[in-house]
Structure 1
Amino acid sequence: MNGPEISSLPEGMQRVAQVLRASGHAHLPQRLDDAARTAQQAADALGVQLGQIAKSIIFRRREDDVAVLVVTSGDRRVDEAKVQSLVGVIGRADADFVKSRTGFAIGGVAPVAHASAPVTLIDRELFRFDEIWAAAGHPHGVFRLQPADLERLTGAPVVDVVQGGA
C-alpha cells in the first residue's frame, strides 16, 4: 500500500497506516467488505478463531480522566478489578469519551495512533496465537500482526487482566 492508496482510506485508517508504515510493520490495514464492530464479526469476516482478534477495550481512569486501553483476546472478558490493581480506579467509557480520547469510534478502536496517548495494557492471552488481528481505526478496517508486534508498537506491558486468568 503506497501513499495514494493510504490517502483513499478513511481518516482513522490513514492514521493507523501511517503509524504502521513508520514503525516498519509488515502489514498495513485492510478494508473488510462488512463492518466488524465486534470481535465475533471480525473473526467471521477473516475466517480466524475468535481468540485471534485483539479487541481494544477503553476505560476511563477516574483520578485523571485518562483513557485506559486494554487489548485482549476476543474470546476473553476483561476483569476490571485486575485492571484497577494496575492503573487505579476505572469506570466505563461512553462513546463520546472513546471518540474524544482515541479519535476512533467504538468498533474501530485501534491499539495505535490514538488522539491522546492512553495507558495501555496487553493481555497475555493474546500470546496463545502466532497471528492476531486488530482494528485499524474504522469498523471496516483491520490489520494483521503477531502478539510481540503489539508489544513493540505500543510499548505496553503484557499482563493478566482477564477473568479466570492466573
Structure 2
Amino acid sequence: MASDTPDTAASGTAAHPRFADALRGLGLDVEIRRFPDATRTAVEAAEAVGCELSQIVKSLVFEADGQPVVVLVDGASRVDVELVRHELGADAVRRASAALVRETTGYAIGGVPPFGHRTRTRVLADRRLLDHGVVWAAAGTPHAVFALDPKTLIAHAEGTVADVRDTAA
C-alpha cells in the first residue's frame, strides 16, 4: 500500500528524466508527487493521492493492426477494445506486450505518462476524463504522479477525445 506522505518536487526532480524533459519542452511547471511505495495500479494511485478512482488517468498501450496506440481512460473504467477498433478503423486491436509498451513509450507498465513518449504515437482519450477539474497521471515511474486539468493533459498528449470505455463493466 502506498504511503500517504509523498515527497513533492517541482517538475522534473521526482519524475522520470524523459518525462521531466517533456514537461520542460512543453513549458509545463507541474508538481510531481513521489511516493515511497509504488502506485502501479489506479487503485494504489488514488489511495496515495487521496482522490477519486475516476480522477486517475490510466495510459494503456494497445496494438491496432500492428501499430501502437495509447488509450487514456479513467482509473475506474476499462477500455472497450471494439470501440477503440471502430474509432481507429482498424481490423484488429489487442493489448500491447510489456516489451512493446517500453519500446513505444520508453516507460514500464505502471509508470506510463500520457505524453512524453519515446516515439510519436496516436492517442485516444476517453471523454469521461473531461468530467473532472483535475486528473492525476503517472510521471514516468510507478512512484510518481502529477495533476493537470484534463483538457490541458489531452491537448499535450495530442489526444483525440472519443468514447472508448467499456460501459458494460
TM-score where L is the length of structure 1: 0.88
Match of 1:53 in 2: 56
Query: How much has 1:9 moved relative to structure 2?
Result: 4.5
Counterpart Cα distance in 2 of 1:36 and 1:77: 18
User: What does 1:123-138 correspond to in 2, within 5 Å?
Assistant: 123-138=126-141
- 1:21-77 CA distance string (max 9 Å, x none): 222223143311210100000000001000000111110122xx3211000110111
Counterpart Cα distance in 1 of 2:29 and 2:148: 8
Letter in 2 for 1:136: A
Letter in 2 for 1:73: D
Match of 2:30 in 1: 27
Match of 2:154 in 1: 151
Contact 2:87 2:162 in 1 (8 A): no
Find the partner of 1:121 among 120, 124, 141.
124
Matched, 1:93 2:96: yes
Sequence identity (%): 38
**CA root-mean-square deviation:** 1.8
Counterpart Cα distance in 2 of 1:33 and 1:68: 30
Find the partner of 2:44 among 41, 44, 47.
41
User: What does 1:63-74 correspond to in 2, within 5 Å?
Assistant: 65-74=66-75
TM-score where L is the length of structure 2: 0.86
Contact 1:20 1:28 in 2 (8 A): no
Letter in 1 for 2:54: G
